[in-house]
A and B are shown apart, each in its own frame.
Chain A
Amino acid sequence: MIHRAVLKGRGDFAEWRHRARAFLIAGIEPQAIDWQDASMEAGLFGSEETPLPPPAEGNAIPVPAAFIDLATAVVCHSDPGRFDLLYRLLWRLARERELLQVRADEEVARARLMEKSVRRDSHKMTAFVRFREIALPAAARRSFVAWFEPDHHIVARTAPFFQRRFNDMDWVIATPRGTAAWDGDRLTLSDEPAVKPEISDDADELWRTYYANIFNPARLKVKAMQAEMPKKYWKNLPEASLIPGLIADAEARVLAMAKRQASEPLAFHDRLQAAARAAPIEPLPPAGTLEALRTEARGCTRCPLHCKATQTVFGEGPENAAVMFVGEQPGDQEDLAGRPFIGPAGKVFDAAITEAGLDRRRLYVTNAVKHFKYEPRGKRRIHQKPNMGEVQQCRWWLAREIDLIRPKLVVALGATAYAALTDGREKLGDVRGRAMTLDTNRLLFVTVHPSYLLRIPDARKSQDENRRFVADLAVVGDLMRGLASSQEKSMAG
């Protein structure tokens, strides 16, 4: 026996679900059902519905949520075969639970195509509806009306978008497949065909002005336009009647642009240029100060690193600091903020010096290389070690910093800093942890760079190394106090 189901076919998921559920529970195979769309094929064979099978006990049928999403969209399609296709999928889902994941399956692919077409139609509706205002002088709210011609039965599923967006005005969207209206309180839907209203709105002329002028005649790409705004929509778009003229004139406009010789600038331009030349240059800080050096370093182009980095990251701390810490180079965060030791390694550094009883506010902290060197990888930057040439170039700044700060003790954090300060090639392990002479006026102390501690994967080893780093910094603290008291002694003496 063939069961005949006749549906109104205007995008109502419930009318299909109601019948499909009854058929499925009764175990009726897809081949035994003739699904008809009343809006398409009225009365060829007297489309009387056959009675549905009687409802059975416990008629809830579990289906994946993804199927409901798919089916609610596909039901809106205008293809008369959609009801049959959906039932076939439903039938198979009972046996193949994972069917929808097999996107390459023929029936799944067909349904997905329909779904895509419905979604696209709905998206185009949100794009191409054009509201026109109807002036109602006494009304508290403004009123707008639009006419749109969709391919599928999408008015009901698209109307909530307009409700969410155009809350503070009354509107009606009329289409041949139904109407939606909003009055600030209620969204009213109908699936009856509407008649095209004739309204005009002065704002359309401003919009057309904008459309004509935002177009660039030097880049004509008509196909690209039509792929996204097919001609079928043009009749209801106020701007579309401009298109043929814009295309026809484009070439002549570009030629005219090319022919015209560049003209002489107006007086306005000369006045501006003169004013710019006369503008006072910001006064430079007095030469020979740390501020002057910092300003000068901002424009450093001694090596190519400046082109890729955000900015020079200069040292920071009191001008009369007794101790200067020298790291390798700024990292990602330092490069963005323009300050040394504020990123992850800076946090390790801060925690360690605090634990060792040092006060960062009394230290001068800087780097051997003042620009960040990195390789971009996706959304991140991967730190790269500066080469000897870059270290050599940047030593110029480091030497000036030492000259101006005149620290009693310089602490090298890591091998790059050690090499920049001494040219020494020894292994870090061989020079770490004891005071050495840097020059006649100051001591040098070498320890690891805090970023080394961040790279140790083993938790135990990381803890040990952290402790060793803090111990090194405690030695720095002792040296500082020793230097201070010897200074007092020499002053007292």
Chain B
Amino acid sequence: MKKSLKERLAVLSDAAKYDASCASSGTAKRDSSKSGGLGSTEGAGICHAYAPDGRCISLLKILLTNFCIYDCAYCINRSSSNVERARFSVEEVVWLTLEFYRRNYIEGLFLSSGIIRSSDHTMEQMVRVARELRTVHNFRGYIHLKTIPEASPQLIEEAGLYADRLSINIELPTDTGITRFAPEKRPANIRRSMGELRLKIEAAGEPTLQTKKRKRFVPAGQSTQMIVGADGADDAAILGTSARLYGSYDLKRVYYSAFSPIPDSSKNLPLIKPPLMREHRLYQADWLYRFYGFSVPEIVEGRPGGMLDLDLDPKLAWALANRQHFPVDINRADREMLLRVPGLGTKAVKSILSSRIHRRLRLEDVKRLGVSIRKVQPFVTAEGWSPRRLAERADLRSLFEPKPQQLSLL
């Protein structure tokens, strides 16, 4: 008997939850006030709900189908798994997206799919959803499509006209990992698809001879996801791969997804608690690389086994290992050095730079910018403040480490 829409929604959203991305930000601004129709995107994304796993729900994240001819060991939808299978029609996905959007549950759609019949067949179905939303229903909300590396360039081209973001998952940080756990996927094809997409996005960004207006093509760029903890790759390898992906393909984001046990899991993979803290540290390191001027070798230098410190955030760990650079003078240091002070974020640094033109800053002033004084005080000097002995304490690290868990008595 055919499953009801609600039953299939349950199966196909359960199957989609291992994709970490839910971003709806960074795309072109548009709305429906002049064009009519439904929807808008205004730069910043909106999270319409949060699940108890702490993740934001911004998009309707579903699969078109969870039937799949691939057998990737880490994936809930692999062909050898016995999970319940279901599929939506193109019309059903379009209907769900519009009805959810009208009730302000979501910012738009993140559509992915198991691979059925062929890469092109699957990609074509996904493109049809996006095309109908845009051209038939005049939908102006956010669309993220997962693309299939082997799909034909024409389909990717068309997908890019309707979607705000396209993504191809790199899945695992090393080529050997991919070959081992995703036997049907080719790391070289994944990289080539990302490269082609970058070239297409750049070509669309060039003004044409006829008009100054640029073609709208994947305005929110491309992203990818890496699973952490399924293979043996260390943090240094993972961050090295991220840096290469950012540099090579102009990715807007690399998502890290702590490998999480899945129903009917493959025998080849550990059933472990997902390494959530490791995932968190990787995101912090990723930020240091992208916004704070750190290189990957600096971040992982001297770390045993190439693994980040789980107890301390990577910036604090770096500062403690490089005490010769501190204390930093809040009133004189340049931006690059202020960004390296634990506890100072990009916004706080900006505020410090604009405030100190007009007056010399004291620690209290820095506190008013929303900065944790406990965290910054050993690393900075300010008007009326010098850390003196605090900065030289051998046990400085212990001030920041999480308190040891007290043993309970029986």
Contacts and interface: CB of A to CB of B under 8 A. Distances in A.
Between A129, A203, A213, A247, the greatest number of chain B beta carbons within 10 A of the residue's beta carbon is seen for A213
Interface in B9-61: 9-11, 13-14, 16-18, 31-33, 35-40, 42, 44, 46-57, 60-61
B10 A246 contact: no
B397 interface: no
A308 interface: yes
Nearest to B351: A103
A222 B265 CA distance: 25
A459 interface: no
A104 B369 contact: yes
Contact of B100 (A203, A262, A335, A379): A203
B357 interface: yes
A452 interface: no
B372 interface: no
Nearest to B279: A219
B264 interface: yes
A170 to B, nearest CB: 11
Contact of B262 (A207, A212, A257): A257
Contacts of A458: none
Given A104-B369, A129-B104, A213-B9, A269 B53 contact: no
A164 interface: yes
A167 B36 contact: yes
Interface in B270-303: 271, 273-274, 276, 289-290, 295-296
Contacts of B6: 205-206, 209
Contacts of A224: 50, 54
A186 interface: no
Interface stretch (B152-160, B187-195, B400-408): B187-195
Contacts of A128: 48-49
B104 A130 contact: yes
A229 B261 contact: no
A127 B104 CA distance: 7
B104 A167 contact: no
Contacts of B295: 377
Contact of A310 (B37, B38, B195, B368): B195
Contacts of A1: none
B185 interface: no
B54 A219 contact: yes
Contacts of A396: none
A263 B265 CA distance: 8
A307 interface: yes
A402 interface: no
Interface string B291-318: 0000110000000000000000000000
Contact of B5 (A131, A206, A338, A381): A206
Between A163, A262, A338, the greatest number of chain B beta carbons within 10 A of the residue's beta carbon is seen for A262
B46 A142 contact: no
A260 B53 contact: no
A78 to B, nearest CB: 21
A221 B49 contact: no
Nearest to A217: B53
Between A164, A169, A237, the greatest number of chain B beta carbons within 10 A of the residue's beta carbon is seen for A164
A458 B37 CA distance: 56
A123 interface: yes
Contacts of A292: none
B228 to A, nearest CB: 12
Contact of B196 (A164, A210, A223, A336): A336
Interface in A192-220: 201, 203-207, 209-220
21 contacts: A101-B354, A103-B351, A104-B351, A146-B104, A165-B40, A166-B32, A203-B103, A207-B105, A209-B9, A210-B9, A211-B49, A217-B53, A224-B54, A225-B54, A260-B263, A306-B188, A309-B191, A332-B248, A335-B248, A336-B195, A381-B247
The 5 A-B residue pairs whose C-beta atoms are closest, nearest first, are A224-B54, A221-B54, A376-B247, A104-B365, A265-B80
Given A165-B31, A167-B35, A337-B199, 17 more contacts: A101-B357, A103-B351, A123-B44, A144-B103, A164-B31, A167-B37, A209-B9, A210-B9, A213-B10, A213-B11, A213-B13, A215-B17, A221-B54, A228-B50, A272-B79, A310-B248, A336-B196
